[in-house]
A and B are shown apart, each in its own frame.
Chain A
Amino acid sequence: MNETLEITLRSLWVSGAATLLAAAFGLPLGLWLGTRGRSHLAATFLYAGMGLPPVVVGLFFYFLFSRSGPLGALGLLYSLPAVIIAESVLAFPLIAGFTMAGVASRFEEVRKLVRSLGGSEAQALLVLLTESRKVIVAALAAGFGAVISEVGAVTIVGGDIRHATRVLTTAVVLETRKGDLELAATLGVILLGVTLVVSGVLVAFGERR
């Protein structure tokens, strides 16, 4: 297989899996927090989490997964699962935070409406979920965008190993280091294109009736 295609597909897989993993925890949490009225403490932690430095998260998982670290027996350092886990930690606050803020802004309104029409609490939640589709799309896009463009954690935890953990961002760094700026720029354009396409798909999903 063409190596550029291989790296592009790996980037998509890593970012997609990390976003889904983060969403599996982040969406329910955001929904739950959003329907419980404003919690300043939760908001503070989630918004601070959006500023988590990727290199620090990378270092944390480096020590955790290192052969000499607490989870060393798993042999996960410099593997894709390790990268996906680290990246999902970076995407998690974005997804949970965006969902919480979006849901909180319309929860009361939706509940009053559903209740006035004779609906139950459970039905109110269901309506809220469908009404919040655009919010969830925005949350997923933010998470995916943060992960696919990330270079610090994926370098530390993944090691930029050819045919194993090299993704578009680390390939750009490598080619820049090697002085092949044209190839680096080409890879950068591919990265932008992939992000654009995925965002388009997400938006289309959010608009679907």
Chain B
Amino acid sequence: MRKPLVAVSALLLFLGLQVPAAAKSHLLRLATTTSVNDSGLLDFILPQFEKESGLKVEVVAVGTGQALAIAGRGDADAVLVHAPDLEARFLAEGKGVDHTCIAKNNFLIVGPESDPADVKNAADAVDAFRRIFQKGALFVSRGDNSGTYHKERALWKKAGLVPDGQPWYLESGSGMGATLTLASEKDAYTLTDLGTFLFVGSKTRLKPLFDRDDPLLLNQYSFMAVNPEKFPWVNAEGARALRSYLLRKDVQAKIGAYMKDRFGRSLFEPLAGRCIIPVK
């Protein structure tokens, strides 16, 4: 193990680059789901935190599953994610601490204007999925390990249906924005978070067909620090500072106000630490 270390150090010297110090306490790495980053929320609230704390926040925006995988190897200091079942497992494995709920919005079912499966008149989200299944209407799944994908799979399960292998069930394997574009091109249905739909989906031909206050479609964003007892090199102090910042009254108000003028509704409604879906 010593040899490669020396070799890599020599390589870096050759490049004229300094080996970064092991303890970079002025850096805080946040692994996060794409929606909070791509919607611009983090750019809206993090600069003030950086100014107040003197920390520099590095955002790695990936799917929730990947964010937790990165943090689960100690390669991030904190996570901002939206998959309660995965979060619970992360906590149970001792990888995360200080779980708290930051904000919520809702998932919605979007699709072509013609709405062949008549999702518009569904009684609830599960009924909407049932209608899509019975009609065999094209549906695009994320097919990754994202929070949205987990929500979609939970809805199929609740409906008692298995869409896998059906010719109308497409898996995009890509992010929400790309999946919305794909669904639009194919005149297909898909499940999306509100933020990405308003930003990306509004530029496509997709229409919001099931956009109701259904508890089944609740989208809850949580913050967790990476457990410093398991990964002693993490910036635990920085993660704690970010946690209290995100829960602060004025910051919560700022989160709730983000883009409200533009879209006439909150993209992210503040939860101030009160989880609606229990995570344990």
Which residues of A are in contact with B by a Cβ distance under 8 Å? Answer: 17, 21, 24, 66-81, 84-85, 159-162, 164, 174, 176-179
A28–B154 Cα gap in the complex (Å)?
Answer: 57
A67 to chain B, nearest CB (A): 4
Q: Is B73's CB within 8 Å of the partner chain A?
A: yes
A197–B203 Cα gap in the complex (Å)?
Answer: 34
Query: For residue B24, which residues in chain A have a CB less than 8 angstroms away from its CB?
Result: 75
Q: Is B17's CB within 8 Å of the partner chain A?
A: yes
Task: Decide if B1 touches A178 in the complex (CB within 8 Å).
Answer: no
Task: Decide if B15 touches A81 in the complex (CB within 8 Å).
Answer: yes
Query: For residue A164, which residues in chain B have a CB less than 8 angstroms away from its CB?
Result: 58
Number of B residues near A (Cβ < 8 Å) is 39
Describe B's contact surface by its main secondary structure: mixed
Task: Decide if A177 touches B175 in the complex (CB within 8 Å).
Answer: yes
Task: Decide if A160 touches B203 in the complex (CB within 8 Å).
Answer: no
Query: For residue A84, which residues in chain B have a CB less than 8 angstroms away from its CB?
Result: 15, 17
Q: Which residue of B is nearest A73, CB measured?
A: B22
Task: Decide if B60 touches A78 in the complex (CB within 8 Å).
Answer: yes
Q: Which residue of B is nearest A85, CB measured?
A: B11
Query: For residue B38, which residues in chain A have a CB less than 8 angstroms away from its CB?
Result: 174, 177-178
Query: For residue A177, which residues in chain B have a CB less than 8 angstroms away from its CB?
Result: 34, 38, 174-178, 200
- A81 with B12: in contact, given A67-B73, A67-B231, A75-B22 (CB under 8 Å)? yes
Task: Decide if B58 touches A179 in the complex (CB within 8 Å).
Answer: no
Task: Decide if B177 touches A179 in the complex (CB within 8 Å).
Answer: yes
Q: Is B181's CB within 8 Å of the partner chain A?
A: yes
Query: For residue A68, which residues in chain B have a CB less than 8 angstroms away from its CB?
Result: 73-75, 231
**Which of B14, B73, B199 interacts with A178 by CB under 8 Å?**
B199
